[in-house]
Amino acid sequence: MLNNGLLIIWFHFLLDRFRKAIGIKEYFLNPEKSVGYSKSKQFKRKVIFGGLFILFLLITIWSGFDKQKTSQLKDTNSIPPLVMTGGNPYVRALMRTISTSEAKDTNPYTLLYGGKHFTDLSRHPNQCITIVSGPHQGECSTAAGRYQVLTSTWLEKVKQYRSKQSKSLTGNPDNFEPQSQDEVVYAWLIDRHAWGADIADLLKQGKLNRVLQLLSGTWTSLGYGTENNSITPMLSKVYQKALSEELDRVNMSSHD
């Protein structure tokens, strides 16, 4: 299927051909010679059919835009669950929302910045990948994992929060296993001192935009940062879907 840019170019080309075909250009350049033609049935038929054709093209182009939005929305329908169990459902939904925007992938826990994957989860991969676009083009990023955390940030947060984590951090405290990624980010998000606010409470009050604004300095694709993407406009829908699933999980657990 033609993309929207090609459809628009095609539309302009055909519109120009249509103008020439029905003699509009000639009509305006030589109105005296074209009076009879403009009143003819042939001219009127061409105008009518041409108008219908242009309308069809406009509908086709609009449909292309609409299908693109629908496709993007479908891409957000499957939000991988967290490996970590337990925790506040609102914060869990937020974590899934962050990762949908930052690391949209079927296996986000092993995702490197740029789209490739790593295999060694014993530590943060610490691979500096060149940034090819955006405000930091030419620099490199060590962002990795489900939450695209930089190496320096990961080492800092593991050290800060590991005493609050489960036995998953026993042995090598810097391990980058999925469980550790979830637990460290969860502890970070519920730390009121880190954000100057109670994230869980704000979410419970329905103040998602306020939370996204607070977090956009760290995760820059959340709507108030410098690197928004195709998922950014749909973050509210992503969050609501994730929250619904997390609340359902809590309700199911309470009935067991």
Choose among 113, 124, 88: nearest CA to 211: 88
Using CA of residue 166, residue 208, residue 237, residue 154, what is the dihedral sign? negative
pLDDT of 97 > 90? The answer is yes
**What is the chain's Cα-based Rg?**
27
H-helix or E-strand spanning residue 129: strand 129-130
pLDDT-derived band at 71, boundaries 50, 70, 90: very low
pLDDT in tens, 131-190: 998 888 999 999 999 999 999 999 999 999 976 655 444 457 779 999 999 999 999 999
Per 3-state DSSP, what percentage of the chain is helix, strand, and coil (rounded to 5)? 60, 5, 35
Q: What is the DSSP string of 178-215?
A: HHHHHHHHHHHHT-HHHHTS-HHHHHHTT-HHHHHHHH
